[in-house]
Amino acid sequence: MRTFRGFTLIELMVSIAVLAILLGIAAPSFRSMTASSDLRGVSNELITTLAQARSEAIKRGGRVTVCMSADGAACIATGGWEQGWIMFADNTHSGTTASIDTGPPADTVLRVFPSTSSNIVINGNMTYVSYSADGVSKQMDGGFLAGTLQVCSKVTGIADSERARKLVLNNAGRVLVSKPSVDASCPAPT
């Protein structure tokens, strides 16, 4: 008499049903965890870029600018920072990447950051951040530059207290980070 080892069809079906229930419970929290990780990652990347631009301006003894860029080569003034951004040595003090035959040497793109996840929105009141040789953030005309960028997640299932990071550029050129309560500047979850 032979004995067979293995599962019966009923045992297999019960095991698959239990697995499906466990996955159904775990999937929403996994999506929330992934969205929170994306939000933190993009926020940290932007903070790091601004800190590097400040450091690079001091090191080079000249202006370094970070601006929104959809193509990784030129600055844009419309849309949000989620399109991507570039950091460049702003030798022409124009706030945009330029190639000029006369005058100061052409601007040099130092780093390119591609567009973010489609679940991230970055908005604020600055289209560029520019640092002078002393590490202070300044407008192109030399005036005081400060502002705010808000990084928001559009994913549902995340607590409102975890859906946004506010990056505040202070008068010394440093970035302060806070977790604001979500307001109208963050899009509704999708």
CATH superfamily name and code, 10-178: minor pseudopilin epsh domain (3.55.40.10)
Domain residue ranges in the chain: 10-178
pLDDT in tens, 123-133: 889 999 999 99
Residue 186 tokens read as 């963050």
Cross-strand partners of 74: none
Contacts of 132 (CB under 8 A, 6+ apart): 57, 63, 138, 142
Residue with tokens 């019966």: 8
How far apart CA 139 and CA 18 sit, in angstroms, is 60
Contacts of 144 (CB under 8 A, 6+ apart): 138, 171
pLDDT in tens, 67-119: 999 988 888 988 889 999 999 998 876 766 665 444 556 788 899 999 988 88
Residue 118 tokens read as 């489609």
pTM, two decimals, is: 0.79
pLDDT in tens, 124-170: 899 999 999 999 999 888 888 999 999 988 887 777 667 889 999 99
pLDDT in tens, 11-56: 889 999 999 888 888 776 777 778 888 888 999 999 999 999 999 9
